[in-house]
Amino acid sequence: MANIPHIWTFTPVGGAVRVKIGSGADIAHLGELDRKMWTVLSCPAKNLEFDQKTLELIDADHDGNIRVDEVIATAQWLTGILKDPDLLLTRGTEIPFSAFNEENPDGAKLLASAKQILKNLKLEKDAIALEDTADNVKIFAETKLNGDGIITAATPDDEALAALVTCITEVIGKATDRSGADGVTADHIEAFYTALNDYAEWQAAGTKDVFPFRDKTADALAAVNALKDKVADFFMRCKLIGFDADAAAAVGVSVDKIGAIEGNLAQAAELCEEPLAKPAADGILPLNAVNPAWKAAVEAMRALVLDEGKDTLTEAEWNEVAGKFTPYTAWMDAKKGAEVEGLGIDKVKELLKAGQKDALLKLVEADKALEEEALSIEAVDKLLRLYHNFYDFLNNYVVFSDFYDPERKAIFQAGRLYIDQRSTDLCIRVDGSSPEISGLSGMYILYCACKSEKMGKAMNIAAVLTDGDVDGLRPGKNAVFYDRDGNDWSATVSSIVENPISLREAFWAPYKKAARWISDKINKAASEKAAKGEGTLSTITESATAKPADGVQTATKAAPFDIGKIAGITIAIAAVGGVLTAILAVLKSLTWWQWIVLIAGLMLVISLPSVFIAWRKLRKRDLGPVLNANGWAINAASLVSVKFGKGLTQLAKFPKLTAVDPAARRKAAWRRFWCWLIALLVIAAGVLYFTDNLKCIGLPYHKEAPVEEVIEEEMTEEAAEPVAEENAEAPVEEAPAE
């Protein structure tokens, strides 16, 4: 019988049709869902507002990214252990024993492990909770063997073995047991006994021939090594003098250098750079006349390696002394087992004789035998974390529904940024600014560098503004960011990705640009005038102070009169004046309500293109490119509409307040009075002007006139009619032909 395909339910979310995860069966059959229908194909496994350990459990290959295959594998493992996968939708923190699917081998094993955990914790109940597995140390606190291959001083019953474990941790190193105590592994034990054997063998090779100066050989070698380079330098200087006597001044003691030394000569480091003694052609080192800076070192060497009363030393004698240490240095170079040297040779021999190595290794093997059970206990913690968190993860990975749910927040929303009397909840933690990719989102994005002095941490965020205006926003502006845990961070805008933010802002944008352009032009003109004035003043000052040469007269040559240029300017002014006159004539023919229509129409003509472009971009705002810039692989559109955007960015709303100060109230009342008075006077003047002087276009305006004026006007019209008729009937005389 063929397998019946799973029937999926789809729902519109964020401007795209997405699959709905509404049952445990949907989770169990995620492997059958076409990957083209997944909202996300990959997401980072860190820097998300989600349980980090759960993310690490889903990221099976630990490459830092969670991909579809890993989500499917987790879903199949999780739904196979539970009898009823619908329990995953409850986001519970406790799993009853009756919910384990014992027909599944993993389910049966995890049930046994869950019962063992409660037994270790001395709890009697029929359900395992997330808080029961949160602390491994607590679970294994009273267990001697816990399957991690580490034994502690509490593991053996024998006190001698317990002391030996402690000794190994102090000498070789230690590992942390699941119980939280310090312990050792099989490798530590092997390394310890290897060091014991090596050290014992090395000590046995140290015969009398190796120690030329008996128990003072080490001190004697140190004294010789302290002078080795300086003695070699002295004999080389002597050889140079023997080669050429004139070299004595160059290689000998420099009196000038000694005289240039400032301060206390006994503490002068410069003396150490001078020769060990005064070099001579005979090549003999006078031990009683050495450089004071080296006198102590020479006396220590004489006492340890030279015969008593010996006052001089030749190069051959020095080489003979140094050669006596050859066997000793070879023996020291072959030293092994230095790790246990601090125990002393007697303790080393005692431990080797006791032969407790095998007993320790057997304890390690007994502990390892419980490894599978211990791993099952860790798997119970994995089960509980996924049981509690996996459904939320799917809503942010497969569906993206948490982002569009006003009661919840998506796992990529890092917190809230407060800036310029507004706050935005769409803040995403980023590794670095990627404005090139994020600009494709059509969103207005502030990239901010955040720093917390209290926690000693720093991070970068991308804050998306979806309402308000952009006046005053610029790189370098400071703000405050609050993460999901309530910690505050100092935020500084580092860069801005500019896009339309609202229709209101787009409507006024052309006028703001025009105002900025005019302001820039005025500032530029003022700066140029100021610079020109300063230059003129400097020129006048220089001219006044300059003295012309004798007999030389300076004169300014007037520019020739250009009649063509003057005529062109006059014609241009006349043309402009004509156009303005025509425009004013048309404007004077408008009524007051037509003026309003005209002004509104002009505003629409100016603002409508900007609003239309903004509307097109706002309806296509997509969160996907912003997340893509931070390591996500978004597979479907995630639109942020204007209405939804208003819920992501909140603007400050201040109440209307009444002044408490009586003087302030009177001042405000007078201000309102004068404003209304001026407005009424302007309206009245406009009405009178339009009533007396204008006619409506297409609707002629007739003013009521006195009766006498009407009669006079009618008589004038009647008298004019015959004249017009006579003129119309009169034949037109043709001009005679020439």
Q: Contact 352/207 with Cβ under 8 angstroms?
A: no
Identity at 653, one-letter amino acid code? K
The DSSP 8-state label assigned to residue 293 in this structure reads: G
pLDDT < 70 positions in the chain: 1-3, 136-143, 259-268, 432-439, 506, 512-513, 515-516, 537, 541-568, 572, 575-580, 582-599, 602-604, 616, 656-661, 664, 682, 684-738
Distance, CA of 686 to CA of 677 (rounded, Å): 14
Closest CA to 397 of 717, 68, 3: 68
Residue 358 CB contacts under 8 Å (≥ 6 apart), including other chains: none
Distance, CA of 59 to CA of 53 (rounded, Å): 10
Distance, CA of 629 to CA of 618 (rounded, Å): 20
Q: Contact 398/95 with Cβ under 8 angstroms?
A: no
> What is the maximum span of the chain, computed from C-alpha positions, in angstroms?
164
Beta-bridge mates of residue 449: 460, 492
CA distances from 279 to 273, 314, 422, 520, 537 (A): 14, 12, 84, 83, 79
CA distances from 571 to 438, 549, 676 (A): 54, 47, 45
Structure tokens at 573: 């002014």
Q: Count of CB atoms within 10 A of residue 713's CB? A: 10
Closest CA to 653 of 325, 362, 321, 423: 423
Structure tokens at 480: 């405050």
Please calculate the CA angle 603-609-611 and round it to the nearest 5 degrees. Answer: 85
Structure tokens at 500: 């339309």
Distance, CA of 468 to CA of 476 (rounded, Å): 20
The 8 Å CB, 24+ separation contacts for 73-77 are 74/386, 74/390, 75/27, 75/28, 75/30, 75/31, 75/390, 75/394, 76/28, 76/30, 76/31, 77/106
Q: Contact 367/146 with Cβ under 8 angstroms?
A: yes
Please calculate the CA angle 125-57-66 and round it to the nearest 5 degrees. Answer: 145
Which contiguous run of DSSP H or E holds residue 67?
A: strand 65-67
Q: Contact 130/54 with Cβ under 8 angstroms?
A: no
Instruction: Report strand pairing: 415-418 vs 422-424.
Output: antiparallel
Distance, CA of 181 to CA of 144 (rounded, Å): 11
Distance, CA of 354 to CA of 186 (rounded, Å): 18
Q: Count of CB atoms within 10 A of residue 661's CB? A: 9
pTM more than 0.85: no
Structure tokens at 234: 């002295």
The 8 Å CB, 24+ separation contacts for 229-233 are 230/276, 230/294, 231/276, 231/285, 231/313, 231/318, 233/275, 233/276
Structure tokens at 64: 């830092």
Where along the chain do its domains lie? Answer: 9-141+373-404, 151-205+342-368, 208-333, 415-499+621-651, 667-714
Structure tokens at 738: 């020439």
Distance, CA of 229 to CA of 70 (rounded, Å): 65
Q: Strands of 541-651 (E only): list them.
A: 633-634, 649-651
Identity at 640, one-letter amino acid code? V
Alpha helices, DSSP H, located in 2-129: 24-28, 52-58, 68-81, 105-120
Q: Among all chains, which residue has been given the structure tokens 């005209």?
A: 598
pLDDT digits (tens, 9 = 90+) for 204-260: 888 878 888 888 899 999 999 999 998 999 999 999 988 888 888 888 877 777 766
CA distances from 69 to 59, 355, 403 (A): 10, 52, 23
Sheet holding 151-152, edge to edge: 151-152, 182-184, 175-176
Count Cβ atoms within 10 A of the Cβ of residue 213 and give its class: 0-12 exposed, 13-18 middle, 19 or more buried.
middle
Beta-bridge mates of residue 18: 11
Distance, CA of 472 to CA of 418 (rounded, Å): 14
